[in-house]
A and B are shown apart, each in its own frame.
Chain A
């Protein structure tokens, strides 16, 4: 148990659906991250939050919308996705953003039909 949980673990959605991925960390960390992992790009950093403020957004399409209501929770809202968005979405947290060790959740396996 890494202290970072993600729900759901698996999600299948159509291109017109709206869904949300949830991440929760129980480690008292100040920074949280969303990563996308696919066969084409093994580990892509999508968003970084520090103390609930977004500090990095790596050119992610607007159909992905993150939300960080407090330092323990991170959401990724999804709408009008494309089949190429099918991937494993990993959440991570760390004490600070400045290069400290990251703890990962188990991921949500997303399939877009």
Chain B
């Protein structure tokens, strides 16, 4: 079945850029999503990209998609302590979303 892989942890210093990477296997994916989960809360949609796009920018967030390599990344510019959370990558084809295990981002002041 479809699979989504992410590294589990990332630490960055406040003010630096964070890059969270994700790989997926489903070549029929139409949308790819990034969700953020803060402690004790549910998942919130951060941003998404349609599969025929290479890049999407939304304020401090930049999503890059390499469809050939099935690689998705989320770049957070000027990372703040409030960005500390778990970030989930998810892909969609014709089935319910398939989520990665999440990357825990720790921002060091």
Q: In the bound complex, do residue A107 and residue B88 qualify as a contact, i.e. CB atoms below 8 Å apart?
A: no
Smallest beta-carbon distance A34→chain B, Å: 12
- Chain B interface: which of A11-19, A65-73, A78-86, A93-101? A93-101
Say which residue of A2, A6, A45, A106 sits within 8 Å of B96 (CB atoms). Answer: A45
Which residues of A, 17-40, contact B by the 8 Å Cβ criterion? Answer: 31, 33
Which chain A residues lie closer than 8 Å to B97 at the CB level? Answer: 94, 99, 101-102
Given known A-B contacts A43-B88, A99-B30, A107 and B94 have beta carbons under 8 A apart: no
* Any B CB within 8 A of the CB of A48: yes
A31 — nearest CB in chain B belongs to which residue?
B96
Which chain B residues lie closer than 8 Å to A56 at the CB level? Answer: 96
Given known A-B contacts A42-B101, A43-B101, A43-B102, A99 and B42 have beta carbons under 8 A apart: no
Q: In the bound complex, do residue A104 and residue B95 qualify as a contact, i.e. CB atoms below 8 Å apart?
A: no
A102 to B102 Cα, complex, angstroms = 16
Which residues of B, 24-43, contact A by the 8 Å Cβ criterion? Answer: 29-31, 33, 35, 40-43
- A: contact size bracket: 20 to 34
Q: In the bound complex, do residue A98 and residue B95 qualify as a contact, i.e. CB atoms below 8 Å apart?
A: yes
Which chain A residues lie closer than 8 Å to B30 at the CB level? Answer: 99
A100 to B99 Cα, complex, angstroms = 13
A98 — nearest CB in chain B belongs to which residue?
B94
A98 to B98 Cα, complex, angstroms = 11
* Any A CB within 8 A of the CB of B73: no
Which chain A residues lie closer than 8 Å to B41 at the CB level? Answer: 106-107
Q: In the bound complex, do residue B92 and residue A99 qualify as a contact, i.e. CB atoms below 8 Å apart?
A: yes
Smallest beta-carbon distance A105→chain B, Å: 5
Q: List, sorted by A's number, 19 A–B pairs whose CB atoms are closer than 8 Å.
A: A4-B42, A6-B42, A42-B99, A45-B96, A92-B42, A92-B43, A94-B96, A94-B97, A98-B92, A99-B91, A99-B93, A99-B96, A99-B97, A100-B31, A101-B48, A104-B43, A105-B42, A107-B42, A109-B40
